[in-house]
Chain A
Amino acid sequence: MCLGIPGQVVEIVDAAKKLAKVEVSGVRRQVSLACIVSDEHPIEACIGDWVLVHVGFAMSRINEEEAKKTLELLMELGEAQKELESMQSSHDINLVGNS
């Protein structure tokens, strides 16, 4: 719950509701960008951003290298697998496959 997981914003789903698809380790799901958009960084500018996702909300923008390192560590800890499983088991996911 408190660790979060890094992912990359790949597609805007609903600009008004600030919803986007974020890809984490090959799994895509809908995530709210409400906590990271601002006048200086509107939702359209978020595509390609690496973000730290907590319970379906992007909470912080992070750099790509950092994101990859963190993901690697979470995999090692077994935390990433748990998080991905829970992302996928939730009733409404937008899964495009486990590449």
Chain B
Amino acid sequence: MKYVDEFRDPELAKTLLAEIERLLPQIEATKHRPLQLMEFCGGHTHTIFRYGIEQLLPKTIELVHGPGCPVCVLPMGRVDDCVALAERPEVIFTTFGDAMRVPGSKKSLLQAKADGADVRMVYSPLDALDLAKKNPNREVIFFALGFETTMPSTALTVLQAAEDGVQNFSLFCNHITTVPTIKAILDSPSMQLDGFVAPGHVSMVVGEEPFHFVAARYKKPIVITGFEPLDILQSIWLLIKQIAEGRCEVENQYARVVTADGNTPGLKAIAKVFELRDYFEWRGLGSIDHSGVKMKEAYAQFDAEKKFSMPNLTIADPKSCQCGEVLKGAIKPWECKVFASACTPETPMGALMVSSEGACAAYYNFGNLPQIMALKLEQEKLESEKIS
């Protein structure tokens, strides 16, 4: 567990915590249940665990870890498609490093590489485009992954490829969208959230406007938030303040990076290259309407899904792996049967253990593991007693 002294400004952190404590009794609901605030973004989840923010907060606030880790929500079938593409002899398959270890039904990209497929980690989609220019006899595919934060980069890379007349470059587009996903969470009957910590860098691209429906239609407060521990603490205070005062608004705590209108050149590039899919399949959450984008017909020649055939199968997660329940907030990571036994960051079974932004890896790396394991044992004992 971390302590408040590790914050950049411990005094400010203490003041914020005191203010939160002072406001909570004014909120009627806290007399019956804890307030549930969801941080959507995996980057926030990581900071929350790294700095032990949950332990600093009063018990009447519960943080629900949202599905905002693109690697974690990637369905197994999509990883299989990547492997199938990578194993084609003419293909150089390029990807961000985060995606290398995500398990497919048979293998991960890392295993495919060990078996001889030409899989290369790149830092930027522009590096993949360069690779295509330098290898005119090979087909270079870039695995386009991420929310709106990374969409401008892949859209601009495709526009550059078109301008330069590059024939052997394509995207395997798996970008996902934030707003339809937040809407699906709000529509889910099992979720009783009281407020949202909204993703800072998605907002940097899309601006404030797309989040207004959360406050206007669903009457939930939402605060756009930066990634430092103090940013998160300040946003939690802003959310609690809104709830205590009976307000529901979009507030921007991360104004040093996020403007109201977002990033105009980035949004223009996205609109030019991508369009919404009718639906997209998420690991654990199932199909969500409009939650992904595909490439527009005008850029079909850069679309790996049109250029190559792939299995495109829906593969169920292994039965023992409960990433889906964790993603939905139905169970805590340590309540999963394989947590820290069959599934660890070194040998992940589920995607939530692969990425450092995944809730399971965060619990494993920064949670109080001995205490968690004691709880887990106790629960298993209770269950076996129930059965016998």
Please state if A1 and B126 are interface contacts (CB–CB under 8 Å). Answer: no
Please state if B131 and A55 are interface contacts (CB–CB under 8 Å). Answer: no
**Assembled-state Cα–Cα distance A32/B160 (Å):** 11
* Chain B hits for A70, CB < 8 A: 228
A6 to chain B, nearest CB (A): 10
What 1/0 flags go to A55-70 for Cβ under 8 Å of B?
Answer: 1110110110010011
**Does A7 interact with chain B (Cβ within 8 Å)?**
no
Total A-B residue pairs with C-beta atoms closer than 8 Å?
Answer: 109
* Chain A hits for B205, CB < 8 A: 59
* Chain A hits for B98, CB < 8 A: 1
Query: Closest residue to A29 on the B side, CB-wise?
Result: B123
A60 touches which of B68, B123, B156, B257 (Cβ 8 Å): B257
B224 to chain A, nearest CB (A): 13
Interface residues of A in 73-96 (CB under 8 A from B): 73, 77, 86-87, 89-93
**Does B376 interact with chain A (Cβ within 8 Å)?**
no
**Does A10 interact with chain B (Cβ within 8 Å)?**
no
Stretch in contact with the other chain, from B77-85, B141-149, B323-331: B141-149
**Does A35 interact with chain B (Cβ within 8 Å)?**
yes
**Assembled-state Cα–Cα distance A79/B88 (Å):** 33
Known contacts A17-B160, A35-B263, A60-B263: A1-B124 contact under CB 8 Å:
no
* Chain A hits for B201, CB < 8 A: 2-4, 54, 59
**Does B8 interact with chain A (Cβ within 8 Å)?**
yes
Please state if B123 and A87 are interface contacts (CB–CB under 8 Å). Answer: yes
Query: Closest residue to A70 on the B side, CB-wise?
Result: B228
Please state if B43 and A55 are interface contacts (CB–CB under 8 Å). Answer: no
**Assembled-state Cα–Cα distance A34/B204 (Å):** 15
Known contacts A3-B227, A86-B97: A59-B147 contact under CB 8 Å:
no
B301 to chain A, nearest CB (A): 21
Known contacts A1-B96, A1-B149, A91-B122: A62-B257 contact under CB 8 Å:
yes
Query: Closest residue to A17 on the B side, CB-wise?
Result: B160
Query: Closest residue to B229 on the A side, CB-wise?
Result: A73
* Chain A hits for B256, CB < 8 A: 62-63, 66
**Does A98 interact with chain B (Cβ within 8 Å)?**
no
**Does B350 interact with chain A (Cβ within 8 Å)?**
no
**Does B158 interact with chain A (Cβ within 8 Å)?**
no
**Assembled-state Cα–Cα distance A89/B96 (Å):** 11
B266 touches which of A4, A35, A62, A69 (Cβ 8 Å): A35
**Does A12 interact with chain B (Cβ within 8 Å)?**
no
Known contacts A1-B96, A17-B160, A77-B50: A56-B121 contact under CB 8 Å:
no
**Assembled-state Cα–Cα distance A70/B228 (Å):** 8
Please state if B149 and A2 are interface contacts (CB–CB under 8 Å). Answer: yes
Query: Closest residue to B259 on the A side, CB-wise?
Result: A60
* Chain B hits for A93, CB < 8 A: 123
**Does B357 interact with chain A (Cβ within 8 Å)?**
yes
Q: With A52-B257, A86-B96 given, can you name 12 additional A-B contacts, CB distance below 8 Å?
A: A1-B98, A1-B145, A1-B146, A2-B150, A35-B156, A35-B263, A52-B204, A56-B125, A56-B127, A57-B152, A59-B263, A91-B120
Jot down 12 A-B pairs with beta carbons below 8 A, ordered by A: A1-B98, A1-B150, A2-B42, A4-B149, A35-B263, A35-B269, A55-B96, A77-B46, A86-B96, A90-B124, A91-B120, A91-B130
Give the top 4 A-B pairs by smallest Cβ distance, nearest first: A56-B124, A90-B123, A57-B153, A90-B127
